[in-house]
């Protein structure tokens, strides 16, 4: 392999000749061989950095044209645009497990843009610190990139995937309208319920989760950029923070604004905790729903067997014909991962020591992994499981008829204790509720037939 010499404030460093990164990226690559190739900085963060570098250059040109010339602006825009188009993904090798401020990833982006910009210009035009990082610090750029990436993935992937499942549930409510089934509490038989009512409970849970996710977006729209090193805005021109937020909004097509308190923006992760909490809530509801569905589909002959799940692949390497609720299982595993990530994000937020939080890369990594997994898992579950659910009406009807808890409808007529006697006798002697009530002499056949209507109990 051929190398070239690059230098930074600490001296010279050998860098592979065919790479666009520079000395600081190489130092980080050498000093943090942790999760290399597997746990690199998420691509959403790199692209958010490319957006903010474009925006910063535009605003620096407007506010400091003598330093950010039109030629420099054009070179930065072009290089950052190529990053956004995915041409230089291999130029961002740094792992999450680096400095807690994300300084080395900021410099990785600065160096790639500078070196690629110089190639485009055909001369030594850009310096990674003086030009690409003008009016910025790693301390305000990384929180900004993190908010941009989080807001974008929630708006463009997570929320649409949740809306898709909600709509699928609404369709199933219509499809299964009027279908009576046994309700269950404590994993035991309870009074009847319409299957559409049960689905409506699932749907309402996800709708509440959706509203909480949407409520997290305004906090993520506040950007730290312009606070520079400690929130004072040192070395950034007046008005840079508001102007750059406007430009980021224009570039992304989303609404962002400058955080009015940069001291808060650099040291607090409360917006990330709030947003991830909403994501966790949705994941926990999906775990509950997936578990309900696989319980209701258990069997098919010796379980509840009330639902038929789509059969996507063989379920066993030894038992022929076995099919498992695999989409439900992936949902529950994803939910477990998101729950773990929530602990990481929450703990990271407690580490905002003095003027800077130094758990930024792991926060971004955990949040974006959760969001990515959630959206992909939900899409798959909707397409490969929920939309294809079928109800076994005969099994549902049979279970309602066998259920002892329909005796609850008789309580107003015979009293709670007598109704309990009917249920207990029926259970002990394997009788129907009608047979037990008549045997105990608590009701006549005419009274029972007139009063016992499970379908009216919903």
Over range 110-133, report the average pLDDT. 98
Q: Is CATH 1.10.275.10 what the domain over 3-134 is classified as, yes or no?
A: yes
**What is d(CA 248, CA 255) in angstroms, rounded to the nearest whole number?**
8
For the question of residue 316 being annotated catalytic, the response is: yes
Residue entry with tokens 């941009």: 148
**What is d(CA 228, CA 138) in angstroms, rounded to the nearest whole number?**
7
**16-66 per-position pLDDT tens digit:** 999 999 999 999 999 999 999 899 999 999 999 999 999 999 999 999 999
Over range 310-322, report the average pLDDT. 95
* Catalytic residue selected from 255, 316, 350, 439: 316
Q: Can you give the pLDDT at residue 237?
A: 98
Over range 326-344, report the average pLDDT. 98
**259-280 per-position pLDDT tens digit:** 999 999 999 999 999 999 999 9
Over range 165-172, report the average pLDDT. 98
Does the pLDDT value for residue 382 go beyond 90? yes
Per the document, the length of the chain is 458
Query: Could you say which DSSP state residue 40 is in?
Result: B
Nearest-5° Cα angle at 266, 263 to 267: 85
Confidence label for 219 from pLDDT (cuts 50, 70 and 90): very high
For the question of residue 196 being annotated catalytic, the response is: no
Domain boundaries, the chain: 3-134, 147-234+263-391, 403-457
**Which residues touch 322 (CB under 8 Å, ≥6 apart)?**
314, 315, 316
pTM to 2 decimal places: 0.96
Over range 135-139, report the average pLDDT. 98
Residue from 13, 38, 16, 34 nearest 24 by CA: 13
**What is d(CA 220, CA 339) in angstroms, rounded to the nearest whole number?**
20
Over range 61-86, report the average pLDDT. 98
Over range 270-299, report the average pLDDT. 98
Confidence label for 303 from pLDDT (cuts 50, 70 and 90): very high
Over range 245-266, report the average pLDDT. 98
> What is the second-level CATH architecture of the domain 147-234+263-391?
Up-down Bundle (1.20)
Over range 351-365, report the average pLDDT. 96
Q: Can you give the pLDDT at residue 352?
A: 87
Confidence label for 177 from pLDDT (cuts 50, 70 and 90): very high
Residue from 306, 300, 341 nearest 322 by CA: 300
Residue from 270, 236, 280, 30 nearest 133 by CA: 236
**What is d(CA 136, CA 235) in angstroms, rounded to the nearest whole number?**
8
Structural fold of domain 403-457: Ribonucleotide Reductase Protein R1; domain 1 (1.10.40)
Topology alike, domains 3-134 and 147-234+263-391: no
Does the pLDDT value for residue 205 go beyond 90? yes
Q: What is the DSSP code string of 350-413? A: TTEETTEES-HHHHHHHHHHHHHHHHHHHHHHHHHTGGG-EE-HHHHHHHHHH-GGGGGGGHHH
């Amino acid at each position: 392999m051929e190398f070239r010499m690059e230098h930074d404030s600490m001296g010279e460093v050998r860098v592979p000749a065919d790479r666009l990164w520079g000395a600081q990226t190489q130092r980080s690559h050498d000093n943090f061989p942790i999760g290399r190739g597997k746990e690199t900085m998420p691509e959403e963060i790199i692209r958010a950095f490319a957006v903010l570098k474009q925006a910063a250059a535009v605003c620096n040109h407007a506010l400091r044209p003598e330093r950010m010339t039109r030629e420099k602006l054009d070179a930065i825009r072009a290089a950052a645009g190529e990053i956004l188009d995915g041409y230089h993904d291999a130029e961002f090798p740094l792992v999450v497990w680096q400095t807690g401020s994300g300084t080395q990833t900021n410099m990785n982006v600065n160096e790639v843009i500078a070196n690629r910009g110089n190639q485009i210009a055909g001369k030594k035009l850009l310096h990674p610190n003086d030009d690409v990082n003008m009016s910025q610090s790693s301390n305000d750029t990384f929180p900004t990139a993190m908010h941009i990436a989080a807001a974008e993935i929630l708006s463009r992937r997570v929320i649409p995937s949740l809306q898709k499942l909600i709509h699928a549930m609404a369709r199933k409510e219509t499809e299964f309208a009027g279908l009576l089934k046994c309700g269950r509490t404590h994993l035991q038989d309870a009074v009847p319920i319409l299957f559409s009512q049960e689905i409506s409970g699932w749907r309402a849970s996800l709708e509440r989760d959706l509203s909480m996710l949407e409520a997290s977006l305004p906090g993520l729209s506040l950007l730290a950029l312009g606070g520079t090193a400690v929130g004072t805005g040192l070395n950034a021109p007046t008005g840079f923070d508001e102007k750059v937020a406007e430009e980021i909004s224009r570039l992304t097509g989303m609404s962002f604004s400058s955080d009015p308190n940069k001291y808060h923006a650099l040291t607090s992760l409360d917006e990330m905790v709030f947003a991830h909490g909403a994501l966790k809530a949705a994941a926990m509801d999906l775990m509950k729903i997936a578990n309900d569905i696989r319980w209701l589909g258990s069997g098919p002959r010796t379980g509840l067997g009330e639902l038929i799940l789509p059969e996507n692949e063989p379920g066993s390497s030894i038992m022929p014909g076995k099919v498992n609720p695999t989409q439900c299982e992936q949902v529950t595993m994803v939910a477990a991962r998101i729950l773990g990530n929530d602990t990481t994000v929450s703990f990271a937020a407690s580490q905002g020591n003095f003027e800077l939080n130094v758990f930024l890369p792991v926060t971004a990594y955990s949040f974006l992994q959760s969001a990515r997994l959630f959206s992909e898992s939900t899409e798959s579950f909707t397409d490969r499981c929920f939309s294809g659910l079928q109800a076994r009406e005969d099994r549902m009807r049979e279970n309602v008829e066998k259920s002892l808890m329909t005796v609850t409808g008789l309580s107003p007529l015979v009293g709670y204790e007598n109704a309990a006697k009917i249920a207990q006798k029926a259970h002990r002697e394997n009788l129907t509720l009608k047979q037990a009530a008549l045997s105990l002499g608590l009701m006549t056949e005419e009274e029972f037939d007139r009063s016992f209507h499970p379908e009216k109990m919903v």
